[in-house]
Amino acid sequence: MASVLSDTIKRAAALRGQRDFKGAITLVDQAVANATADDDLKVIALLQGLYAADEAGLASEAKRFAVALIAEDPEIPSIQKYL
């Protein structure tokens, strides 16, 4: 599954660069839903979703990603402003 998340991270970043924020969010949601709980790349994929939501001005989506991130790693300081 790590290769799927790795690809998702790259594709989501590319979609963000194209300003397709909703596409990036959808991509991340689908990949994370199929990721294993112990996949180290899950946090990075969730961060891509958070960044896309933030860049799109979607506060509720950004908060949703922040809540998911805090469940994975409560020590990420950059997500505090979304909670």
Which tokens in the block code for residue 19?
A: 């300003």
Question: What's residue 61's pLDDT?
Answer: 97
H/E segment holding residue 2 = helix 2-17
Cβ neighbours of residue 50 closer than 8 Å, sequence gap 6 or more: 62, 65, 66, 69, 79, 82
Give phi and psi for 74, each to the nearest 5.
Answer: -70, -5
Give the model confidence (pLDDT) of 36-72 as tens digits: 877 889 999 999 999 999 999 999 999 999 999 999 9
Give the model confidence (pLDDT) of 6-43 as tens digits: 999 999 999 999 999 999 999 999 999 998 877 889 99
H/E segment holding residue 14 = helix 2-17
Q: How many helices (H) and strands (E) does the chain have?
A: 4, 0
Question: What's residue 12's pLDDT?
Answer: 98
Of residues 16 and 2, the one with the higher pLDDT is 16
The CATH architecture annotation of domain 2-82 reads: Alpha Horseshoe (1.25)
